[in-house]
Amino acid sequence: MDALLEPLSNPTVAITVALLVIYSIYSRLMATTAMPAGVPWIGKDSSKIFAETRATFASFNNVREWLGEGYEKYSKKGKTYIFPDFSGKPEVIIPRSQVQWLLDQPDNILSTSECHYDALEGDYAFTHPHLLGDPYHEHVIHKYLPRRVGQMVPGMFEEVADSFDETWGVDTEKWRDIGVFDNLMVMIPRAVNRMLVGLPLCRNQDYLTNMAKFAMDVIAASTVFLRFTPQFLKPIVGRIVTIPNHYHYSKTAKYTLPLIKERLANFKRRQEDPNFEWEEPNDYISWQIALASSENRQDELTPDMISRRLMPLNFAAIHTTTLTITNCLFDIISCDPSLGYLEGIREEATRILVEDGGQWTKAGLARFHRTDSAIRESMRVSNFMTRGIMRKVMPDEGIENKAEGWRAPKGTFVGLDVHNVQHDPEIYPDPETYDAFRFSRPKEEGDHTVNGDVKDGAEMLKLKNTGLITTSDTFFPFGHGRHACPGRFFVSLELKMLLAYMVMNYEIEPLATRPPNKWFGQNNLPPMKATIRVRRREGTTKA
């Protein structure tokens, strides 16, 4: 968070932001928001002057309390309410009972991409409005990643193992202090970019550093600066505050553009010369070239556009993965050691690797049930997003919810309170407790076969649906429905390798208490400055 606020140390920037905040406050005081008539608000006292504006600003420090109140008062009773988000765009929060209604709406009625475009300031933050306006990179990932990810496991493991060995060390005698979040922000970009750009670029520190900085630029521009900028000033302010975004993109492009040009030339030569011997790399660059060629998307075959597509992919993959595994590590090592979570994960990983001849494979990782459960449980209990499956209303006439009889006008954000669904005791017993093996225990303890035949198909399906990559109306970290995160197949393997290699090869001092997460507006952030002490386990060798 300090990195986001660093630009404010410049007096000129600080004064500019202060003026924008003052103007934003004035604008909001004078403005009214069209919202569904008859739908109750949470946190709004209509008896007071400027009630909506008061609630909007107060929501920043009251997200957890107000969402809890709205969930108990409305959501659990199947009713919709309005949440006055600090962004100035109140949100229509539907109950879980209406999730399917939301998912059934076509994209021209309720749009995911338009919601992301607004929230991430797509006009400015990603260097080109076309990147989020037409998220072709998501189309590429949907088409290729699920069926290619198995082939990528050995390469991913190389990056994970080398990163740990280099940053956590191989000394079996001395303990080392590790700043978890910052350390993982070094590790994870390597694994992500092994998939995106391949070797050797995925190990180029200058490239990786500027990718990480670009991601921070996006967050700063969309949540710190442009959020408070009046719409009519955004064409000016947007171009100024995103100068760092363009700078850090240019620093990555000096590596990616030559690589992409060479790749395009090889693709063309192979098409023209059947005797040309060239092994096509299995990475995102190749996937976009192949798909855009087959679909005759000439606009997506330019080196510049392919290079720019890498920016939103890195932004999405690096930070969400880092936040997730940071939370997971603190959740595990803050539990009572007698629960045996680390030992259980270590035993499972060691056993399966022996069964698979020491090879890390997609099939083997699919059997890492305890590891899978430990990560899924952390994503449930230590979620960093509080609302999810958010959509933007697109038709001029709005959208009608016939079940309750309200109509949301064009431009309204409609979504779900995912935080309280995932902390509901009627869904998850003892929901505030991190139980690493909550989802794997039934799989290991139950006897689901008789003479090799499935005893209870429904029960087996239920257990299968508690895997990390499975979304549902009670588990939302990857979204839900047709717009669920297409990268979750890669992320799940990456996270399991990270956690398994960590516990197999290192001793980690347990923590008496978990460093608290920090609520910052609508986000519940992990302890970014907290450290742990680690030491290489005896009997392990450098990967």
Take residue 340 and report the two structure tokens written for it: 């045996």
Look at the block and give the residue holding tokens 């660059």: 285
DSSP SS3 for 135: coil
| Phi-psi category of residue 231: left, alpha or beta, with phi > 0 → left and psi -120 to 50 → alpha | alpha
Residue 459 has pLDDT above 80, yes or no: no
With 70 as the cut, is the pLDDT of residue 20 above it? no
Q: Give the span between the Cα atoms of 212 and 215, in whole angstroms.
A: 5
For 122-131, what is each residue's pLDDT tens digit? 999 999 999 9
- Give the DSSP H/E element, type plus range, for residue 322: helix 303-333
Range 394-397, long-range pairs (CB < 8 A, 24+ positions): 394/107, 394/108, 394/109, 394/110, 394/111, 394/114, 395/108, 395/109
Q: What is the pairing mode between strands 506-508 and 387-393?
A: unpaired
Tokens standing for residue 146: 């699920």
pLDDT above 80 for 354: yes
Q: Which amino acid is at 91?
A: E
* For range 394-401, the mean pLDDT: 95
Asked whether residue 115 is marked as a ligand-binding residue, the answer is: no
SS3 content of the chain, % helix, strand, coil (to 5): 55, 10, 35
**Alpha-carbon span 358 to 269, nearest angstrom:** 39
Of 404, 332, 419, the residue nearest 371 (C-alpha): 332
Residue that wins the pLDDT comparison between 38 and 248: 248
On the question of pLDDT at 457 being above 80, the answer is no
Residue 450: its pLDDT value, please?
A: 42
Is 8 exposed, middle or buried, given 0-12, 13-18 or 19+ CB atoms closer than 10 A? middle
pLDDT band for position 11 (cuts 50, 70, 90): low
Least confident segment among 55-59, 274-278, 370-374:
55-59
CB 433 within 8 A of CB 450: no
- Distance between the two ends of the chain, CA-based, in angstroms? 34
Question: SS3 for 434-454, per residue?
Answer: CCCCCCCHHHHHCCCEECCEE
Nearest 5 degrees, angle CA 437-CA 440-CA 444? 120
The predicted-structure confidence for 58-110, as pLDDT tens digits, reads as follows 888 899 999 999 999 999 999 999 999 887 789 999 999 999 999 999 999 99
Which pLDDT belongs to residue 45? 79
Residue 451 pLDDT > 50, yes or no? no
pTM assigned to the model: 0.90
CB 452 within 8 A of CB 445: no
Q: How far apart are CA 116 and CA 390, in angstroms?
A: 9
| Residue 344: predicted pLDDT | 97
- Mean pLDDT over each residue of the chain, to the nearest integer: 89
Instruction: For residue 169, count CB atoms less than 10 angstroms from its CB and return exposed for 0-12, middle for 13-18, buried for 19 or more.
Output: middle
Collapsed DSSP state (helix, strand, coil) of residue 179: strand
| Cβ proximity of 361 and 152 under 8 Å | no
Instruction: Return phi, psi of residue 361, to 5°.
Output: -135, 160
Of residues 57 and 371, more confidence is placed in: 371
The enclosing H or E element of 400 equals strand 399-401
Report the pLDDT averaged over residues 352-357: 96
What pLDDT, on the 0 to 100 scale, is given for residue 184? 95
- Give the per-residue pLDDT at 16: 58
| Percentage of the chain exceeding pLDDT 70 | 90
pLDDT band at 44 (very low <50, low <70, confident <90, very high): confident
pLDDT of residue 54: 83
Contact 48, 54 (CB under 8 A): yes
Give the integer Cα–Cα distance in Å for 334 and 488: 26
Mean per-residue pLDDT, 491-510: 96
CA gap 355, 358 in Å, rounded: 7
Taking the C-alpha atoms of residue 489 and residue 195, their distance in angstroms, rounded to an integer, is 12
Q: Is the pLDDT of residue 25 over 60?
A: no
pLDDT in tens, 166-202: 999 999 999 999 999 999 999 999 999 999 999 999 9
